[in-house]
Structure 1
Amino acid sequence: MSRIIHAGDTPAKRRRQLERSCAEALRTLGAKPALASGVWDLEAKDLAAFLAINLRDIGETIEGSAQAWDDRNYWKKAEKLRADWRWAPQTAEAMETALLAADWEGATDALVSLIPRFAHVNVGKKLRDADWWVGAFRALEKRAARA
């Protein structure tokens, strides 16, 4: 019997795409000199909300990948994967809380904590335009109002 290769959308492939999106958003935020002085414009809020949403999505892909390892009885590998990525949904929660409370210092601290997490992602040039993150802050507010 031959080996089955899944060339479609896998949790690992989706996670790599989300990591790249996060790295590009962090780089775009890092290029905003006003953030250093604590001034958050609408684009910065959208980018930070976009990061929080992507971090939540990364957390979901981790569980999908870990479940695949659990199904093959590689429970140690599954638990290591969960432990290595536990920070993603926790940081997303901290960032969402700070953004919704207009705690810009807390949001900045959350952003700074993300820099080493995405340092390994090589972003040669900007591939995404503002259409990716415009309205993310408003979507975050709407989701919080429903909850």
Structure 2
Amino acid sequence: MVFRHTIKGMATLALFVSLLSTGNTLRAKELECNINNGPCTLVSGGRTVTIDIEPKPVSPMQELSFSVTIAPCDALPEKLLLDLSMPGMMMGKNQVTLARTAGCTYRGKGVIVRCMSGRTLWQATLLSATLDNPAFIFNVSK
């Protein structure tokens, strides 16, 4: 009888842990954005961070203009790094240097490479401990 209660308790605990894990997965999807419809915004490190990429549709193997606006932008450096990667796949180092242009806007140019596997999901992570490294997940056109 005691053994049965122990198993029942462990099963309840396992169910609780799996529900928590599902919540974390759903939360990560909130960071996905449709960059081809316009800028994407999230709050990170107590600041609002907005990214935009031009021209649209965002396509691989062409020069792109990256624009990041941060509010408030006090105590941030004049240059930031934007790391471009593919979730779950090693693509090599691809970083864009963003320079502050006017007010709280940073701009830079870079290229998103074409993935040989045909995958189109990319992640742009603003490398800043002050901002808690905000990441934007988006698809590029083929």
- Would you tell me which structure has more helix in proportion to its own residues? 1
TM-score by length of 1: 0.28
TM-score by length of 2: 0.29
- Structure showing greater radius of gyration is 2
